[in-house]
A and B are shown apart, each in its own frame.
Chain A
Amino acid sequence: MIIEKEIRKIKERNKRVELDKAWETSMTRKITITIMTYLVMVIFFYYAGLPKPWINSIVPAIAFILSTLTIPLFKNKWMKRKRMNIKGQEEIVGFIVIVVIVMIIGMVVLGISLRKTTTVETSKKYDNYLSAMMGYTTDCTSSNGIKEYNVEEILKECLNKRTCSDGKESCEVLNKTISEMLRATNPISEESITSSYKFRAMYIMNTTENTGEEIMTIEVGECKGISQGTSKSTSSIPGIIRIELEICGK
């Protein structure tokens, strides 16, 4: 009677253990943890302000799925070693190696995610600013002395390597005017809100391409915040002159 009772107890325990084991290896558990891992990572990415949280969070979720796979090749090797009664110390070394590898992978992923994005936000304010800059009348006068060129016109003169009526190079006047204008309106100092600015003008022959002959580039400071900017194109037959302006805050 006592033995029967003991056997029943053992059977009950076995059933319970089997159920636990079944849950451990069940697809429901895997799916639930995968979804939860994904959601937690999405929330973390949002909170940390990291880019594309819905896409980047797929990585840890897939990593979890991989961790649940048995991987027969490694399993067989492990079982063979286990049967051979390899020392526990080796197990610990193996475990440490895995932890170190996971940590390195994690740090690499985090480093890539935290890398600063260099996107430039378009701004209506700087759109007006660039238009006003283009309309500024420079000191360069046409050879007949009738017309005083504005920045937009002197860009074309500079492209054609022409000189002003007073003998000055149009490119020199252009460079001086733009540099002074940018410095006066976007001062870079400890107190100012601007950390850097970049002005670039280039001649593009084929409008489908984004590169061309550079007319001038002015770059001052180092960007420490969000960059805002705008671009403008002006016709210079047979191509166009593309003007880009980027201003970075703190």
Chain B
Amino acid sequence: MMTTKRRMNVSGQFKIQQMAFMLMAVIVFFVLAGLFYLMLKSTGLNKGFTELQQEKSEALALSIAETPEMSCGGVVDGGKQGCIDTDRLITIKNSKAYQELLPVSSIIIRKVYPEIRETKECESNNYPECNQYTIKENNKGYDSGEATSYVNLCRRVIDDQYVKNKCELGVIIIKI
């Protein structure tokens, strides 16, 4: 009788042990699955953050292009978005006051179409036969990223006694 009881106890203990192991395995499994899910989520968040920063920088580049000193401001096609007046760029290019006003370390505006093979910095003596306007360049500062935005580079041309607007394709590149 005693032996049977003892054998039953051992068997019961064995079952409890089995159950405990099973529960532990299930818990470990769910913990691992949870960790894996969190890891995936945080990766997605990081990606989202980077994209948001990039979008913010691009919006800043566009807002700089739309400052009154640069933008076409109603002169070309009713002041459309992302339009830079290159006649104005030539005049503000060497303005120290304007350079200090802008909260970025570098601003370069480059013509991308029609293409000119080599980079020609625009100055009053070669304008408009050039393709780059360096408004501000500070290589000493901390560079935390670059952002670009496509813009129209417009100027006025006199053709057969008519004043016409000529717009080309360009990019504004800023370094924050």
Contacts and interface: CB of A to CB of B under 8 A. Distances in A.
A184 B169 CA distance: 10
Interface string A147-187: 11010000000000000000000000000000011001100
22 contacts: A8-B4, A36-B29, A125-B58, A128-B82, A128-B151, A129-B150, A131-B81, A132-B150, A132-B170, A133-B150, A135-B152, A136-B113, A136-B168, A137-B166, A137-B167, A137-B168, A145-B160, A150-B167, A181-B169, A184-B112, A184-B114, A184-B115
Interface string A182-195: 00110000000000
A132 B77 contact: no
A109 interface: no
B113 A181 contact: yes
Interface string B108-128: 000011110000000000000
Interface residues of B, number: 35
Interface residues on chain A, size class: 20 to 34
A128 B112 contact: no
Nearest to B80: A135
Interface in B124-176: 148-152, 154, 160, 162, 164-170
B150 to A, nearest CB: 4
Contacts, number: 78
Contact of B37 (A43, A124, A129): A43
A205 interface: no
Task: Tell me if A's interface is mostly helix, strand, loop or mixed.
Answer: helix
A185 B58 contact: no
A180 B113 CA distance: 8
Nearest to A133: B169
Interface of A: 8, 36, 39-40, 43, 46-47, 124-125, 128-129, 131-133, 135-137, 145-148, 150, 180-181, 184-185
A180 B55 CA distance: 27
B62 interface: yes
A132 to B, nearest CB: 4
A180 B81 CA distance: 23
A36 B29 CA distance: 9
A148 B149 contact: no
A146 B80 CA distance: 21
Nearest to A39: B33
A126 B82 CA distance: 13
A185 B169 contact: yes
A150 B76 CA distance: 12
Nearest to B54: A125
B40 interface: yes
B112 A136 contact: no
B37 A137 contact: no
Nearest to A126: B150
Contacts of B58: 124-125, 128
Contacts of B168: 136-137
Given A43-B33, A132-B169, A185-B113, A146 B162 contact: yes
B82 A132 contact: yes
